[in-house]
Amino acid sequence: MLLEFRARNYKSFAEEMIFSMIPAPKEKGLDYSVLSDRAGKKTYRGLSSAVIFGPNASGKSNIIGAMDTFRSIVVSGNIHPADGAFSRAASSLKLVSNCHRKGDATAFSVRFLDHGLLVEYALKADLGSFMEKDAPRKILEERLSVNEKEIFCRHERLEVKLPQAIRDYVNQGVRSSIMEQLCEIAEGSLSDTELFLTGGFKSIFAQKLARAITDWFQRRFLVVCRAEDMEPQANFMATQKTLREAARAFGIPENGPELGSMGEGDAPVSDFRDRLPPAELLASSGTAWFMRVFPQVLRALQSGGTLVMDAFDASIHPLAVMNIINIFHNDEINRHRAQLIFATHNPIYLDVTLLRKDEIRFVERDDETGDSSLYALSDFRAVKGIRDRGDTMDRYFVGRYGAIRDMDFAPVIEEIMTEER
C-alpha cells in the first residue's frame, strides 16, 4: 500500500512534490475509501484511489513519469539507463532535471507498506542539467528505514544498522561484532551510479529485505505512462471462462475475434498472445483498452498493488471507470488493499459522492516560471453547500480551484485564415 511519493527537481516540478495517499486529518465520509494495514504494533491508513486533474501541459504526466523513473531506477539498480531495463518514460533520463535548476540534484522518495513492513526509501542523485548529454551521474544520498528505524544512510559516508525490526531478514553470519568491518568493505565497493540497496546491502547485509523491497517496486508498484504502448495481454491469473465473462460485461462479443481462439472451460489462461490479433486491428480503441489495461487492474487487485496510469479513462465509458473505482472501494472484493491512481480530463470524477475530497488532486503550472504544483481538493477551506457533484464541478469550471485554463483558438485560426485569403 503506497502511503507517500515525493519528487524534487523533476521536469516541471522544481520544488518538492508530495503525492500523499494518507487520508487528510479533518476529511470525513466515504470511509470505505480508506484502507488500513499494520506494521509492527502500529496501524497505518491509506486511500484506495486518487484522481489527478489539470489542463494540458500542467504536469499531470510528470507525476506519473517521476514514479515510473524512480521505479525503473530501483528495478535496474542503477541511475544510468540500460537497454531494456528502463521503461519508455525513463529510458534516457536526459529530460529528468528541471530546466530552470541547473546543477541541482534530483530527488525521489517513497513510503509504503508491504507484508507487515513500513518501508521508507529515498534517493538523491546528480543526473546533469536538463537535456545535457553525457553528463557524469552520481548518487549523492541514499536512505532506507523500516518500521520507522533507520537501516542505512549513504551520504558523506556509509552507515548501516540492523535493528530488531529486520532481524529475520539479515544474512547469515552478519553479527554486530563485525559490522564495522562489513561497512568498510561495502563502502569500498560503492559505485557512483549503482544503488547500495540492490548492491552491497543485498549481497553483504540483508538479501531477503532487499528482495522484498525491489519485489514491491517490480510487482506491486504498477506504473503505466502510456496505455497505448502496452501490448494486448491475457497472461494473468484468470480462467478462460472468467475472462470471457469480463469481456462480455465490458461489451465485447463473446465469440468475437478480439479474444482469439481461446476455447472454453475453466483452465487457467497461460499465454495466448500469439492467438491475439494486433491491437490496431481490434474493433475499437475501447476494446484495445480492455485487452491492455484490464489485466493490470486484475493484477493490482490480486497482488494488493498500486496501479498508476496516465489517461486511464481514455477510450472507455465513464460508467465503466466508475465501476472499477467502486471495486477498489469495495472491502469485500479489494481484500488485498489495492490502490488506483490515474490522471484525467473528465470532470465527472469531481463527484464528491464517488471520491473523497482528499482523493481529488489538482495540478497547476505557473505561466511565468513554468513550474508545476500539486494540491488536493481537501486543501481548500470547507465551503458550505459543497455536497454534490454539481457544486464541485461548477466551482472547478469557474476557476475556484485553479488547475484550469481558458482557451480561445478563434483569434489564431482567424489570423491564419486571413493570411491565407
Across residues 274-299, what is the average pLDDT? 68
DSSP-H helix ranges across 26-120: 60-76
Q: Are 173 and 182 in contact (CB under 8 A)?
A: no
Max mean pLDDT among 11-15, 37-41, 110-114, 297-301 falls in: 110-114
Q: Does residue 217 lie within any of the structural domains?
A: yes
DSSP-H helix ranges across 314-384: 318-328
Alpha-carbon distance of 260 to 246, in angstroms, equals 15
Alpha-carbon distance of 6 to 66, in angstroms, equals 9
How large a percentage of the chain has pLDDT more than 70?
Answer: 81
Q: Are 23 and 309 in contact (CB under 8 A)?
A: no
Q: Does residue 79 lie within any of the structural domains?
A: yes
Q: Does residue 156 lie within any of the structural domains?
A: yes
Q: Are 254 and 245 in contact (CB under 8 A)?
A: no
Q: What's residue 112's pLDDT?
A: 97
> How many CA atoms lie within 13 Å of 77's alpha carbon, on the beta-carbon side?
15
Alpha-carbon distance of 389 to 312, in angstroms, equals 21
Contacts of 106 (CB under 8 A, 6+ apart): 7, 8, 9, 10, 96, 97, 124, 125, 126, 127
pLDDT tens-place string over residues 88-100: 656 666 678 877 7
Q: Does residue 195 lie within any of the structural domains?
A: yes
Helix axes 240-250, 285-303, angle to 10 degrees: 130
Q: Does residue 251 lie within any of the structural domains?
A: no
pLDDT tens-place string over residues 311-329: 888 878 888 889 999 999 9
Cell numbers for 139, please give them. 548518487
Q: How many residues would you count in the chain?
A: 421
Instruction: Quote the mean pLDDT of the chain.
Output: 83
- Nearest-CA neighbor of 306 among 337, 327, 331? 337
CA distances (Å), origin 143, targets 4, 127, 206: 15, 18, 15
Q: What's residue 167's pLDDT?
A: 87
The residue range of the domain holding 213 is 1-232+293-421
Q: Does residue 73 lie within any of the structural domains?
A: yes
Q: Does residue 248 lie within any of the structural domains?
A: no
Q: Does residue 206 lie within any of the structural domains?
A: yes
Q: Are 317 and 287 in contact (CB under 8 A)?
A: no
DSSP state at residue 382: P
Cα Rg for the chain, rounded, in angstroms? 23
Coil, helix or strand for 195?
coil
Coil, helix or strand for 342?
strand
Cell numbers for 173, please give them. 553470519
Q: What's residue 408's pLDDT?
A: 79
pLDDT tens-place string over residues 256-266: 555 554 444 45
For residues 99 and 375, the model is more confident at: 375
Whether pTM > 0.75 for this model: the answer is: yes
How many domains does the chain divide into?
1
The domain that holds 67 is classified in CATH as: 3.40.50.300
Phi/psi of residue 235, each to 5°?
-90, 60
Q: What's residue 281's pLDDT?
A: 52
Matching residue, cell 535548476: 101
